[in-house]
């Protein structure tokens, strides 16, 4: 993804400018951001400039009042705000676009592990393990935005037996693939607490049922997700929590054939419940947080209705640097399991909700497959086969020794 530093004025230097100079400077910044991203320039009116002046001085998203805008202007304002906050500009879909073949440069699908990295295998109840009607599962789709900065709008999947809608907040957008790491961390913690509870309960020790509130240190989350412990990571973590809390998934069950599909019932749930920052460090970094585990996850792990499964994810999943590669691994883990699975590129685009045109999406898949020949995807080998009418992605378990989905009770042994 193309990244450009802005080298913005400090807030103190900005405060010393006259009103006219501030307005001219903000218009210049907005133009620079639009040019870098390849977006159309927008002419900032008096009201827009007033909002940006307050935001530049205080860095509070509330000053932008995005909920009053809507449409392209809200998206442009969010892009400007994110660029000002981080002092850099990133192209929206640059992470999905493959490098030009003429360069013959192969990019890795993964990033290096952080220094002093230590990661244990963990049990992860997948999203579909919640007691949802008709056995829906969200590992067959991307329950997050493929944009690295969080997407705007609504993602809608129309599948054979369901309609799944993912909607983010007006101010923060939809959760990203990296935000979703926190959900994996939260569910893994709950699964481990449930395992210990069942062991003690079986011994007649009368343990307390696992709490529905998770209180981790920020450093613990970052360590689990195999990230560096730098200042930017702590800032990203706080924004990720906001996006996760605002992201809701709505599932409508369908029945009947293609000619007549009746809606049966609809369920809506957030990725995480209420959250708050419990404490901060002397450097004003997020220190400890409190996350309410939503009922659909808690009941599916602690009080399962039936026998929900738990899937074992490879810890190297966290090192996958491309959201599209993460989607493919999740799909392979669910669909291929110990064997293999086949998906057309057309179906992959549908299930990933990628915003890329089909031509560029096909190239992105080809690049991921090519890169996997050099540095393989965790657990699975990838192969593309040209069937004439479409390219078919073959996902095949490499060792064929990956643990199959197990009942929740199995991890209590």
Residue 90 and residue 3 in contact, taking contact as beta carbons nearer than 8 Å? yes
DSSP state string for 391-410: EEEEEEESSS-SPPPEEGGG
Cα–Cα distance, 252 to 157 (Å, whole number): 11
Query: Vertex 227, ends 106 and 91: CA angle to 5°?
Result: 50
DSSP-assigned letter for residue 95: T
User: Residue 107 has what pLDDT?
Assistant: 57
221: nearest Cα among 247, 240, 248, 249: 240
User: Residue 262 has what pLDDT?
Assistant: 63
For residues 226 and 150, which has the higher predicted lDDT (pLDDT)?
Answer: 226
User: Residue 91 has what pLDDT?
Assistant: 52
Residue 189 CB-half CA count within 13 A: 21
User: Residue 223 has what pLDDT?
Assistant: 87
Q: Which of helix, strand or coil describes residue 153?
A: coil
pTM of the model: 0.67
**Tokens, residue 199:** 């062991």
Cα–Cα distance, 278 to 215 (Å, whole number): 9
Query: Vertex 282, ends 280 and 284: CA angle to 5°?
Result: 50
Residue 81 and residue 53 in contact, taking contact as beta carbons nearer than 8 Å? no
Q: Where are the alpha helices (DSSP H) in 38-179?
A: 46-58, 71-86
What band does 263 get if pLDDT is binned at 50, 70 and 90?
low
How far is it between the farthest Cα atoms of the chain? Answer: 74
Q: Please check the confidence at residue 313 and state whether its pLDDT lies above 90.
A: no
Cα–Cα distance, 344 to 134 (Å, whole number): 25
User: Residue 366 has what pLDDT?
Assistant: 94
Bin 221: left if φ > 0, else alpha if -120 < ψ < 50, else beta: alpha
Residue 176 and residue 149 in contact, taking contact as beta carbons nearer than 8 Å? yes
* Burial of residue 76 (number of CB atoms within 10 Å: 0-12, 13-18, 19+): buried
User: Residue 133 has what pLDDT?
Assistant: 29
Cα–Cα distance, 384 to 177 (Å, whole number): 24
Cα–Cα distance, 332 to 219 (Å, whole number): 30
* Structure confidence by residue, pLDDT tens digits, 150-177: 666 788 888 777 888 999 888 888 999 9
Radius of gyration, alpha carbons of the chain:
23
User: Residue 228 has what pLDDT?
Assistant: 83
* Structure confidence by residue, pLDDT tens digits, 40-59: 778 888 888 888 888 888 77
For residues 209 and 57, which has the higher predicted lDDT (pLDDT)?
Answer: 209
User: Residue 95 has what pLDDT?
Assistant: 44
* Structure confidence by residue, pLDDT tens digits, 71-90: 567 777 777 887 787 776 75
User: Residue 70 has what pLDDT?
Assistant: 59
341: nearest Cα among 402, 395, 399: 395
User: Residue 129 has what pLDDT?
Assistant: 39
**Mean pLDDT taken over the chain:** 79
């Amino acid at each position: 993804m193309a990244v450009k530093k802005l080298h913005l004025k400090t807030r103190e230097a900005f405060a010393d400018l006259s009103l006219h100079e501030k307005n001219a400077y903000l218009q210049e910044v907005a133009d620079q951001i639009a040019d870098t991203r390849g977006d159309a320039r927008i002419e900032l009116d008096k009201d827009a400039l007033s909002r940006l002046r307050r935001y530049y001085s205080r860095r509070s998203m509330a000053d932008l009042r995005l909920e009053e805008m809507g449409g392209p202007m809200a998206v442009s304002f969010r892009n400007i705000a994110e660029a000002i906050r981080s002092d850099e500009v990133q192209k929206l879909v640059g992470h999905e676009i493959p490098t030009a073949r003429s360069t013959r440069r192969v990019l890795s699908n993964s990033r290096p592990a952080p220094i002093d990295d230590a990661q244990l295998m963990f049990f992860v109840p997948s999203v579909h393990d919640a007691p949802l009607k008709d056995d829906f599962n969200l590992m067959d789709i991307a329950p997050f935005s493929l944009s690295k900065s969080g997407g705007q709008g609504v993602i809608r999947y129309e599948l054979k037996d369901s309609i799944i809608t993912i909607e983010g907040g007006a101010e923060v957008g939809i959760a990203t693939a990296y935000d979703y790491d926190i959900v994996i961390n939260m569910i893994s913690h709950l699964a481990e607490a449930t395992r210990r509870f069942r062991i003690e309960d079986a011994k007649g020790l009368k343990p307390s049922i696992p709490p529905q509130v998770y209180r981790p240190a920020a450093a613990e989350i970052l360590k689990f997700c195999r990230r560096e412990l730098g200042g930017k990571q702590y800032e990203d973590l706080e924004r990720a929590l906001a996006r996760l809390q605002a992201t809701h998934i709505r599932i409508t069950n369908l029945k009947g054939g293609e000619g007549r599909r009746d809606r049966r019932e609809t369920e809506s749930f957030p990725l995480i419940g209420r959250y708050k920052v419990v404490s901060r460090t002397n450097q004003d970094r997020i220190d400890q947080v409190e996350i309410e585990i939503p009922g659909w996850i808690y009941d599916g792990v602690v009080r399962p209705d039936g026998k929900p499964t738990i899937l074992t994810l490879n810890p190297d999943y966290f090192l996958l640097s491309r959201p599209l590669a993460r989607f493919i691994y999740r799909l392979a883990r669910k669909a291929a399991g110990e064997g293999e699975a086949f998906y057309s590129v057309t179906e992959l685009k549908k299930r990933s909700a990628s915003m890329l045109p089909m031509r560029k999406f096909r190239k992105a898949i080809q690049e991921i497959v090519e890169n996997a020949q050099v540095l393989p995807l965790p657990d699975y080998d990838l192969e593309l086969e040209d069937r004439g009418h479409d390219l078919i992605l073959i996902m095949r378990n490499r060792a064929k020794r990956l643990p199959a989905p197990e009942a929740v009770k199995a991890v209590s042994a």
